[in-house]
Chain A
Amino acid sequence: MDKKKVITVENLVKKFGHFTANNNLNFHVDQGEIFGFLGANGAGKTTAMRILCGLSSPTSGKVEVAGFDVSHQAEEVKKRIGYMSQKFSLFEDLSIWENMRFFATVYGLSSSEFKARGEDLLRKLNLYKERKRLVSTLSLGWKQKLAFSVAILHQPSIVFLDEPTGGVDPITRRQFWEMIYEAAENGITVFVTTHYMDEAEYCDRVTIMVDGRIDALDTPAELKKQYNAASMNDVFLALAR
Chain B
Amino acid sequence: MNRFIAFVKKEFLHIFRDYRTMLILFIMPIAQILIFGFAITTEIKDASIAILDKSKDEVTRELTQKLLSSGYFNNDAYLTSESQIEPAFNDQRVKMVVVFEPEFGRNLQKEGTANVQLVCDASDPNQARMLSQFAEGIFASYASQGVVKGIQPEVRMFYNESLEGVYMSIPGIMAMILMLVSAMMTSISITREKEYGSMEVLLISPLKPLQIIMGKVTPYVMMALINAVSILALGYFVFGVPVKGSIILLLMECLLFTILALSLGILISTVAKNQMVAMFMSMFALMLPVILLSGFIFPVENMPLPLRIISNIIPPKWFIIIVKTIMLKGGGLLYVWKETLILIGFVVLFVTLSVKKFKIRLQ
A interface with B by C-beta (< 8 Å): 53-57, 75, 78-79, 81, 83-85, 87-88, 91, 93-94, 98, 101-103, 105-108, 134, 160
Q: A105-B6, A106-B6, A106-B207 are in contact. List 6 more A-B contacts (CB 8 A).
A: A53-B204, A87-B196, A94-B17, A101-B6, A102-B6, A107-B206
Which of B6, B17, B362 sits near A93, CB closer than 8 Å? Answer: B17
* Residue contacts A-B, CB under 8 angstroms, 21 given: A55-B204, A55-B362, A56-B362, A56-B363, A81-B204, A91-B14, A94-B10, A94-B17, A98-B10, A102-B9, A102-B10, A103-B205, A105-B3, A105-B5, A106-B3, A106-B202, A106-B205, A107-B205, A107-B206, A108-B3, A160-B204
B148 contacts partner chain A, Cβ-Cβ < 8 Å: no
**Which residues of B sit under 8 angstroms from A87, Cβ to Cβ?**
196-197, 200
Q: For the complex, would chain B's binding face be called helix, strand, loop or mixed by DSSP majority? A: helix
Task: List, in ascending order, chain A residues with CB within 8 A of B205's CB.
Answer: 78, 83, 103, 106-107
The reply to whether A93 and B18 contact each other, CB–CB distance below 8 Å, is yes
In the complex, A83→B326 CA distance in Å?
Answer: 52
Residues of B within 8 A of A54 (CB): 204
Q: How many residues of B contact A (CB 8 A)?
A: 25
Chain A residues with CB under 8 Å of B203's CB are 55
- Asked whether, in the complex, the Cβ of A106 is within 8 Å of the Cβ of B17, the reply is no
Find A85's partner among B9, B18, B201, B206 (CB 8 Å cutoff).
B201
How far apart sit A228 and B201, CA to CA, in the bound complex (Å)?
39
**Also in contact, A85 and B197, with CB within 8 A (given A93-B17, A106-B206, A106-B207):** yes
| Minimal Cβ-Cβ distance residue in A for B5 | A105
* Residues from 202 to 230 in B contacting A, C-beta threshold 8 Å: 202-208
B1-26 vs A, CB cutoff 8 Å, 1 = contact: the mask equals 01101110110011001100000000
Q: Which 6 A-B pairs have the closest CB atoms?
A: A88-B197, A87-B197, A105-B6, A93-B17, A83-B204, A88-B198
Given contacts A53-B204, A55-B200, A85-B201, contact A94 B362 (CB under 8 A): no
Residues of A within 8 A of B208 (CB): 75
Using CB atoms, name the residue of chain A closest to B16: A93
Are the CB atoms of B201 and A94 closer together than 8 Å?
no
Query: Are B200 and A78 touching (Cβ within 8 A)?
Result: no
Contacts of A107 in B (CB 8 A): 205-206
- Contacting residues, chain A, for B10 (C-beta < 8 A): 91, 94, 98, 102
Contact between chains at B197 and A75 (CB < 8 Å): no
Choose among A81, A106, A160 the residue with the greatest number of B CB atoms under 10 Å from its CB.
A106
Residues from chain A with Cβ under 8 Å of B198 in the complex: 88, 91
**Roughly how many angstroms separate A123 CA and B201 CA in the complex, as a whole number?**
25
Please determine whether A78 and B206 come into contact, CB atoms closer than 8 angstroms: yes
How many angstroms between the C-alpha atoms of A106 and B1 in the bound complex? 10
Question: How distant is the Cα of A85 from the Cα of B205 in the complex, in angstroms?
Answer: 13
Give the Cβ gap from B145 to chain A, nearest Cβ, in Å.
Answer: 64
Interface set, chain B 169-222, CB cutoff 8 A to A? 196-198, 200-208
The residues of B that contact A78 with a CB separation of less than 8 Å are 204-206
- Identity of the chain B residue whose Cβ is nearest the Cβ of A53 in the assembled complex: B204
User: Which residues of chain B have C-beta atoms less than 8 A from A57's C-beta?
Assistant: 363
When the two chains form the complex, which single residue of A91, A93, A108 contacts B206, counting CB atoms closer than 8 Å? A108
Q: Check B14 against A93 for contact (C-beta < 8 Å).
A: yes
- Bound-state CA distance A201–B28 (Å) is 57
| B141 CB to nearest A CB, Å | 59
- Distance between A152 CB and nearest chain B CB, rounded to angstroms: 14
A41 CB to closest chain B CB, in angstroms?
16
**Min C-beta distance of A68 to chain B, whole Å:** 13
Asked whether A79 and B206 contact (CB < 8 A) given A56-B362, A105-B2, the answer is: yes
Contacts of B2 in A (CB 8 A): 105, 108
Q: How far is the CA of A85 from the CA of B9 in the complex (A)?
A: 23
| Minimum Cβ distance to chain B for residue A21 (Å) | 12
| CB of A184 to closest CB in B, whole Å | 20
In the complex formed, the residue of B with least CB distance to A108 is B206
